[in-house]
Structure 1
């Protein structure tokens, strides 16, 4: 019995490693060619794998994009674990800047993020991860303004996330030389909104 378990574990580890390699390859292909032009064959070639190996783990490129987005969501979740503690000493303006900077840094580190964010089939995201982030933001906002109810702080968190999300698509569509200006405008807009909601 124990021998069977010992044999299965390495096989599982190999499978997880292979999935990670395929997703890393898909990230490159998607960032370079976009979703529509991406093919399973291109992902296989980038990974140095057979097309059969790709289909062993993913039914189609929509499934690949969905898996990548789940991976991105999990990473983003980890980045915000200690959000309240990490932002306690910041002013509201600095807080807004931090939120935007974290998102921009993430986009730059994962150039396929915007591609998969708007790919078909990826609208079914991990609700738990999204809710955790919203709740963490709400806790930060309530610590800044105790007069905010739980419902109000969650609303502010929701709108904050929506503002940042809207920046993602505009950032992707903007020319490289325009992006710095766009980011600064979003920082100003978010800072103005949070200042009005967190004052007092």
Structure 2
């Protein structure tokens, strides 16, 4: 049985990690990945750099932990959007709505996520760190395409999923950066772009 002091230390450690990840996500949103330093993350989290290094050896490790954390949150947020049992019951327009709207909501709620998902110029180490987030999004889209178009060869399915995610990733930063009517207009344009790309692959049509 764990002693009370040990339980308290573990709770403090979990809180410190949560503080670091929250600070990193906020700074990635404000300054981008490359311009955010571990010193800045430590300062935003209210601790010394030395304390931060007790939990993470470098910025890439923080990005990896944050990516994994965001995957879990994204799965919870998108559980209904990616309900494979209903994919074939929807028109393509409806399906795109169900996929895009939660993605927009997720990225608006986690603006730093776009620095991990949409940035194609990140260093190799950072790309490796954010791979869980990229793969989770691509895999979910591929599963939807597979359910919708079961006759599509696997290679074409995976390529279509990757391109669709890249389209979303390219549009997400400007969508997150604005509000109201501008955000709705840009979201509508994103949906048009996805429809134009996916429709020729989809025998179910619109």
How would you bin the TM-score normalised by the shorter chain? 0.7 to 0.9
Query: Which of 8, 11, 14 pairs up with 2:12?
Result: 14
Q: Please list the CA deviations of residues 6-36 of structure 1 after superposition, one character each: whole Å capped at 9, or x if unmatched.
A: 8656544432222012111222233233334
**Aligned ranges 1:113-124 → 2 under 5 Å:** 113-117=113-117, 118=119, 119-120=122-123, 121-124=125-128
CA contact (8 A) 2:28 2:36 kept: yes
Shift of 1:157: 2.2
Question: Alpha carbons of 1:88 and 1:126: their partners in 2 closer, same or farther (altered >3 Å)?
Answer: farther
1:143 correspondence with 2:147: yes
User: 1:49 and 1:125 mapped to 2: Cα distance?
Assistant: 23
With normalisation by structure 1, the TM-score equals 0.75
**Deviation (angstroms), 1:122:** 1.9
- Residues 74-111 of structure 1 show CA distances to partners (whole Å, capped at 9, x for unaligned) of 32244445621364543211212222222221211111
By how many angstroms is 1:158 displaced?
2.6
Tell whether the 8 Å contact from 1:93 to 1:195 is kept in structure 2 after alignment: no
State the match for 2:33 in structure 1.
35
Q: What secondary structure sits across from 1:57 in the alignment?
A: coil
Unaligned ranges ≥5, structure 1: none
- The answer as to whether partners of 2:29 and 2:115 remain within 8 angstroms in 1 is yes
- For 1:153 and 1:30, how far apart are their aligned partners in 2? 32
- Give the secondary-structure state (helix, strand or coil) at the position aligned to 1:111: coil
Which is worse superposed, 87-96 or 122-131? 122-131
**1:50 — aligned with what?**
48
Residue pair 2:63, 2:126 contacting (<8 A) in 1 also = yes
Which residue of 52, 61, 64 maps to 2:62?
A: 64
| Structure 2 residues not aligned, in runs of 5+ | none
Residue 106 in 1 paired to residue 106 in 2?
yes
Find the aligned partners of 1:99 and 1:138 in 2 and give their Cα distance. 12
* Contact 1:142–1:149 under 8 Å retained in 2: no
